A and B are shown apart, each in its own frame.
Chain A
């Protein structure tokens, strides 16, 4: 006997991610999941963003790493709240781990929660954390072939930050090639070319963030 089901497999992660997204909606907190390969500059971008927007937005960070709380310490040195999740070998954060960290950073009172995912261009993209937006960071030294090699990650992004633009003169990186590939994978993606080191290009990213965080607040009529 054969039965046809066509049943959606809702795994544990999806259940928790729905719970998280309800939490963010209820508390008007804008959550951004930040994904990239190791070392592309996630922590540096977040530290700079927090420093520059400190007076305008309350920001907290959930840090995911396989080992150590180095990144959470770096974020705390900017004055923002940060919680470290050590995945102990797992290559991505799960929605359940994020749920567990929301209380500790006081997410309900924040304007923005950034989740810095484990450095990896494959697995994190398959785990929805309940975020409202996903940002992928690609830095120039990684090469311009990444979007075509890791289509799942780039196709799922709302924002692409092309980081380390200060190195544009020393590395070969075909910006047009990247922008072309990405635009076929995700036509409505927002692309910002930045340097977290010099601050170049960061204002456009801040404008996007503030607009989205604002849109998230309840409307007064």
Chain B
């Protein structure tokens, strides 16, 4: 469900750039925050189907999951937050804040050489 909508938005965004550069896209990379419930296999499957009827047909999509960042209130360390062992890895303090989850981004597109 969720992945299909995202796949559509990504295909639209890539198609727009492809028209701008008048080039055929062959690969793209997206990124999203750790808390965004995106399943890579489902997204890739949806992307393949949505891309079929567009300039994106046959291209590959990679999705990178960006870890949540914690910031220690005791020693100031910024670290990747691990929900299984929350705490500052440097000083072991449990006093820390969590930064907002990373946004869903279209990071880069690779086009076929002309």
Contact = CB atoms under 8 A, between A and B. Distances in A.
Check if A and B associate. Answer: yes
Contacts of A3: 17, 21, 108-109, 111
B37 A11 contact: no
Contact of B97 (A1, A122, A187): A187
B105 A11 contact: no
Interface in A3-54: 3-13
A138 interface: no
B107 interface: yes
B62 interface: no
A184 B94 contact: yes
B44 interface: no
A2 B101 contact: no
Contacts of B17: 3, 5
A125 B108 CA distance: 27
Interface stretch (A147-155, A162-170, A204-212): A147-155
Among A1, A6, A91, A125, find the residue whose CB has the most chain B CB atoms closer than 10 A: A1
A191 to B, nearest CB: 17
Interface residues of B, number: 33
A127 B37 CA distance: 11
B84 to A, nearest CB: 8
A155 B70 CA distance: 13
Interface in A122-174: 122-123, 125-127, 148, 151-152, 155-156
B80 interface: no
Contacts of A11: 5-6, 8-9
B94 A123 contact: no
B23 interface: yes
A20 B9 CA distance: 20
A90 interface: yes
Nearest to A127: B2
Interface in B67-113: 83-84, 86, 94, 96-98, 101, 103-111, 113
A152 B108 contact: no
For the complex of A and B, 9 pairs with smallest distance between CB atoms:
A152-B35, A11-B9, A184-B86, A9-B104, A1-B111, A7-B106, A2-B110, A4-B108, A9-B9
Interface of A: 1-13, 90-92, 122-123, 125-127, 148, 151-152, 155-156, 184-187
Interface of B: 1-2, 5-6, 8-10, 13, 17, 21, 23, 30, 35-37, 83-84, 86, 94, 96-98, 101, 103-111, 113
